[in-house]
Amino acid sequence: MRIDKYISNCGYASRKDVKKLIKNGVVTINGTVCKKAEQQVDENSEVCVEGNKLVYSEFVYLMLNKPQGYISAVYDKKYPVVTDLVDEEYVHFEVFPVGRLDIDTEGLLILSNDGQFAHEMTSPKKNIYKRYFARLDKPMEEKDIEIFAGGMEFKEFTAKPAKLEITDNPEEVYIEIAEGKFHQVKRMCERVGKRVVYLKRVAIGGLTLDETLKIGQIKELTKEDLEKI
């Protein structure tokens, strides 16, 4: 790959700024000063910029605290999309949402450019539980806990047993589901006669939403964060 792409993938500088760095003679490849942005390198090349040795990363994993009003896609004709919220420094990675949240759902959404990771995360075989906080139009009842725990039949799938936790305010609940089917939480609540008026995803597996992230903000996930999933 070209040296300018390599350096921007490492998050050191944008492609445009890399050209300036090369011009200034501060980029070396295996100890030799690089003269052209078109020069080819691979993952094994030792690349230094301003004396700093770069660590190559092809993939990036981002946590977004998704706001309402955004579609979980990379493009939409009508609405803003979650990738509009990606900071400049990550734009060149061309990330996409891993799974989906409805336009009116907030909370934890992972964005990545790693297709294999996305496939595993969304595979029903992996049984990765997603935890949601929901506010309802009516109080949830104790009897509903068992109904959720028994699994639910829908037209196109059978929901695995889900965990329902009723908080001190019975109109506010936590729900854990194993799948991520279209409007699943809303449909499960409707099944017991309640309408979801607010929904936020708070965890995927053991990875919880960083509550210090403001709505619409993004942070990069580390390997340790990903292991928690």
What are the residue numbers of the active site? Answer: 102
Residue type, 2: R
Diameter of the chain by CA atoms?
71
Classified as helix, coil or strand, 40 is strand
67 near 119, Cβ under 8 Å? Answer: no
Closest approach of Cβ 134 to ligand URA, in Å?
A: 9
> Phi-psi category of 127—alpha, beta or left, where left has phi over 0 and alpha has psi -120 to 50?
left
Site map for ligand URA, 87-126, x if CB under 6 A?
--------------xx--x---------------------
- Token pair of 16 as six digits: 């445009």
178 near 122, Cβ under 8 Å? Answer: no
Asked if 184 touches ligand URA (CB under 6 A), the answer is yes
Closest approach of Cβ 93 to ligand URA, in Å?
A: 24
Stretch that binds ligand URA, among 7-15, 153-161, 182-190, 212-220 (CB under 6 A): 182-190
Asked if 185 touches ligand URA (CB under 6 A), the answer is yes
Asked if 199 touches ligand URA (CB under 6 A), the answer is yes
Site map for ligand URA, 44-83, x if CB under 6 A?
----------------------------------------
- Gap between the Cα atoms of 189 and 166, Å rounded: 13
Closest approach of Cβ 99 to ligand URA, in Å?
A: 9
Indicate which single residue of 5, 15, 19, 183 sits in contact with ligand URA (rule: CB under 6 A).
183
Classified as helix, coil or strand, 142 is helix
33 near 27, Cβ under 8 Å? Answer: yes
Closest approach of Cβ 181 to ligand URA, in Å?
A: 8
97 near 73, Cβ under 8 Å? Answer: yes
Interface with ligand URA by CB under 6 A: which residues? 101-102, 105, 183-186, 199
